[in-house]
């Protein structure tokens, strides 16, 4: 694992043992050979990547030092890339080529990264398995009959199968952390506002947050350092500068008080996941942390509240896809007919379900019963966490109730699919930082992740506990496909 990390590749590039072009060709060759099985990428951009790599080599040889100089990464296809198709895995944006880069992409480029391509997702990031992609499902590299999770399933699978050194995903209700857990990689959802959403195609704006997927916690810290920080183009971005995440990692977690929410370890959690998490908990104790039981009494209402709030925001955000300014247009008899045809042919079934749910929940007469109620629940959940964090520094809980499930297993039952995010959604509702870290395997050899949660802006302590736990456990996570 030490070898396969951004930090170790960076060392080798700096020492000129390896050129950025060689490294980029290495990943492109793996993508060509292995991605037909995994199907992590929607678009691969070999020419652009090689040009960026040669530029990185020029800068490396002139002694320039940038945080990601020559490091090949992948980007979820709901994050805008100038001149490179950004589809959101939707027919409605199948041929959309953004005229600008998202802030995070601008920052990756400024840090010298090489962009290999755009990764698959559930359409508009709505889903938990990447099966809602309008193009094709992605497969879990650990078992090709299983889903990689979602919605950032393409990014998680690409990191897991070593088809890129690191990747960006987005997380509205668990879309970075749940696929990270399914694919045996690290996934981090920063505090809401840490990372600019400018250029992220909006799903539910009060919940959406971009974050890294990587093979190590230190790599996640490095990626966050590059993409995060204030951005005047996103009014919700947090105005203060970021801490130095990498140097914070080295501080000892000894004495930290770790809360275990009682409600998370009851029914619904698979036995195998529980067994693996028990091992992780023991390791945390051995590290000198104090373990305390805490309570999140409103946890059970998080999922229903999310499935009002997220669709309500989505129904409004997705109103812009009407065939007029960009994206698919299907002509009709008149304007109304054009709208109808464009939207009925452009959106897939899950996206339509969300638009209908959200429109209904916001309509006159129902707003009080649904949207307002859900917002009140959101406040209760925020308070639950505040209460818990008055007693402990960080919280440890499952990332997902089960390991990766089979393709097709939940596609006919939206509620079962939604339940996959039961442990991740409350964190988005409260705007907190959440890390998913691989901590073991099931008997069948499927990875299991644990989730570490902190109070708002405690991104650094969350990463620090994750980093120490990762080193303590020393799991051997070789890419499952060679
Ligand atoms: N699975 C959840 C949903 O379908 C979360 C998705 C996400 O985080 N983008 O809404």
* CATH label of the domain that carries residue 62: 3.90.1300.10
* List of residues 6+ apart from 162 with CB closer than 8 A: 4, 27, 30, 479
Residue 91 pLDDT > 80, yes or no? yes
- For the record, the structure tokens of 200 come out as 């992220």
Does the beta carbon of 151 sit less than 6 angstroms from any atom of ligand 1?
A: yes
State percent of the chain over pLDDT 70: 100
CA of 172 to the centre of ligand 1 (A): 6
Mean pLDDT of 266-279: 92
pLDDT category at 266 given cuts 50, 70, 90 is confident
CA 193/CA 311 separation, integer angstroms: 21
The pLDDT score that the predictor gives to residue 268 is 84
Does the beta carbon of 171 sit less than 6 angstroms from any atom of ligand 1?
A: yes
Within a domain: 219? yes
Within a domain: 377? no
Does the beta carbon of 425 sit less than 6 angstroms from any atom of ligand 1?
A: no
Within a domain: 362? no
pLDDT tens sequence across 290-301: 999 999 999 999
Min mean pLDDT across 2-6, 39-43, 324-328 is at 2-6
pTM of structure = 0.98
Of residues 400 and 480, more confidence is placed in 400
The pLDDT score that the predictor gives to residue 2 is 53
CA of 125 to the centre of ligand 1 (A): 6
Residue 254 pLDDT > 60, yes or no? yes
Which of 120, 147, 148, 151 is the best mutation target for the ligand 1 pocket, counting ligand atoms within 8 Å of the beta carbon and taking the most? Answer: 151
pLDDT tens sequence across 409-452: 999 999 999 999 999 999 999 999 999 999 999 999 999 999 99
Residue 65, domain extent: 2-258+398-473
Within a domain: 348? no
The pLDDT score that the predictor gives to residue 476 is 79
pLDDT category at 366 given cuts 50, 70, 90 is very high
The pLDDT score that the predictor gives to residue 124 is 98
Which residue owns the Cα nearest ligand 1 atom 10?
A: 126
Mean pLDDT of 351-379: 95
CA of 143 to the centre of ligand 1 (A): 22
CA 392/CA 397 separation, integer angstroms: 13
Within a domain: 21? yes
The pLDDT score that the predictor gives to residue 284 is 97
Does the beta carbon of 127 sit less than 6 angstroms from any atom of ligand 1?
A: yes
**R_g of the chain computed on alpha carbons:** 21
Helix/strand/coil (H/E/C) assignment for every residue in the chain: CCCCCHHHHHHHHHCCCCCHHHHHHHHHHHHHHHHHHHCCEEEECHHHHHHHHHHHHHHHHCCCCCCCCCCEEEEECCECECCECCCCCCHHHCCCCCCCCCHHHHHHHHCCCEEEEEECCCHHHCCCCCCCCCCCCCCECCECCECCCCCCHHHHHHHHCCCCCEEEEEECCCCCHHHHHHHCCEEEECCCCCECCCCECCCCCCCCEEEEEECCHHHHHHHHHHHECCCCCCCCCCCCCCCCHHHHCCCCCCCCEEEEEHHHHCCCCCHHHHHHHHHHHHHHHHCCCEEEEECCCCHHHHHHHHHHHHHHHHHHHHHHCCCCCCCCCCCCCCHHHHHHHHHHHHCCHHHHHHHHHHHHHHCCCCCHHHHHHHHHHHHHHHHHHHHHCCCCCEEEEECCCCCCCECCCCCCCHHHHHHCCCCCHHHHHCCCCEEEEEEEECCCCCEEEEEEECCCCCHHHHHHHHHHHHHHHCCCCCCCCC
The pLDDT score that the predictor gives to residue 3 is 80
The pLDDT score that the predictor gives to residue 1 is 41
Alpha-carbon dihedral sign for residues 193, 194, 198, 201? negative
Mean pLDDT for the chain overall:
96
Mean pLDDT of 120-149: 98
Indicate which atom in ligand 1 lies nearest the CA of residue 354: 10
Indicate which atom in ligand 1 lies nearest the CA of residue 418: 1
- Annotated catalytic residues are 76, 151, 175
CA of 97 to the centre of ligand 1 (A): 24
Within a domain: 402? yes
Within a domain: 365? no
Which of 88, 154, 172, 351 is the best mutation target for the ligand 1 pocket, counting ligand atoms within 8 Å of the beta carbon and taking the most? Answer: 172
CA 229/CA 241 separation, integer angstroms: 6
Total tally of structural domains belonging to the chain? 1
Mean pLDDT of 164-179: 98
Within a domain: 371? no
Which of 173, 414, 451 is the best mutation target for the ligand 1 pocket, counting ligand atoms within 8 Å of the beta carbon and taking the most? Answer: 173
Residue 216 pLDDT > 70, yes or no? yes
pLDDT tens sequence across 369-422: 999 999 999 999 999 999 999 999 999 999 999 999 999 999 999 999 999 999
CA of 246 to the centre of ligand 1 (A): 29
């Amino acid at each position: 694992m030490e070898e396969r990390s951004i930090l170790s590749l960076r060392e080798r590039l700096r020492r000129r043992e390896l050129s950025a072009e060689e490294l980029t060709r290495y990943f492109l060759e793996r993508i060509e050979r292995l991605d037909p099985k995994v199907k992590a990428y929607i678009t691969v951009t070999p020419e652009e990547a090689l040009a960026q790599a040669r530029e990185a080599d020029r800068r490396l040889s002139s002694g320039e030092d940038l945080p990601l100089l020559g490091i090949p990464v992948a980007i979820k296809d709901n994050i805008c890339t100038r001149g490179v198709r950004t589809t959101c895995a939707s027919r409605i944006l199948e041929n959309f080529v953004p005229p600008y880069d998202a802030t995070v992409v601008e920052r990756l480029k400024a840090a010298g990264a090489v962009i290999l391509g755009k990764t698959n997702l559930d359409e508009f990031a709505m889903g938990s398995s990447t099966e809602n992609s309008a193009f094709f499902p992605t497969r879990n590299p650990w078992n090709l009959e299983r889903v990689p999770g979602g919605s950032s399933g393409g990014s998680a699978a690409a990191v897991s199968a070593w088809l890129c050194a690191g990747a960006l995903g987005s997380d509205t209700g668990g879309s970075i952390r749940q696929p990270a857990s399914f694919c045996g990689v690290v996934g981090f959802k920063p505090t809401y506002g840490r990372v600019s959403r400018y250029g992220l195609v909006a799903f539910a704006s009060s919940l959406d947050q971009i974050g890294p997927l990587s093979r190590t916690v230190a790599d996640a810290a490095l990626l966050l350092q590059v993409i995060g920080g204030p951005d005047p183009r996103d009014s919700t971005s947090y105005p203060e500068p970021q801490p130095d995440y990498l140097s914070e990692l080295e501080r000892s977690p000894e004495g930290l008080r770790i809360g275990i929410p009682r409600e998370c370890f009851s029914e619904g959690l698979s036995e195998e996941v529980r067994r693996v998490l028990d091992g992780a908990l023991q390791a945390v104790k051995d590290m000198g942390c104090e373990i305390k039981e805490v309570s999140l009494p409103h946890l059970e209402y998080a999922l229903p509240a999310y499935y009002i709030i997220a669709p309500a925001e989505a129904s409004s955000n997705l109103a812009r896809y009407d065939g007029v300014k960009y994206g698919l247009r299907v002509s009709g008899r008149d304007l109304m007919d054009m709208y109808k045809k464009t939207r009925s042919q452009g959106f897939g079934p899950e996206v339509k379900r969300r638009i209908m749910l959200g429109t209904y929940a916001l309509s006159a007469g129902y707003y009080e019963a649904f949207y307002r109620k859900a917002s009140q629940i959101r406040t209760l959940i925020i308070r639950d966490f505040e209460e818990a964090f008055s007693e402990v520094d960080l919280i440890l809980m499952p990332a997902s109730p089960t390991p990766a499930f089979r393709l097709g297993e939940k596609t006919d039952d939206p509620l079962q699919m939604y339940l996959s995010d039961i442990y991740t959604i409350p964190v988005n509702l409260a705007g907190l930082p959440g890390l998913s870290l691989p901590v073991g395997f099931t008997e069948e050899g499927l990875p299991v992740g644990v989730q570490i949660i902190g109070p708002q802006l405690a991104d650094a302590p969350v990463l620090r506990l994750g980093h120490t736990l990762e080193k303590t456990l020393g799991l051997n996570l070789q890419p499952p496909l060679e």
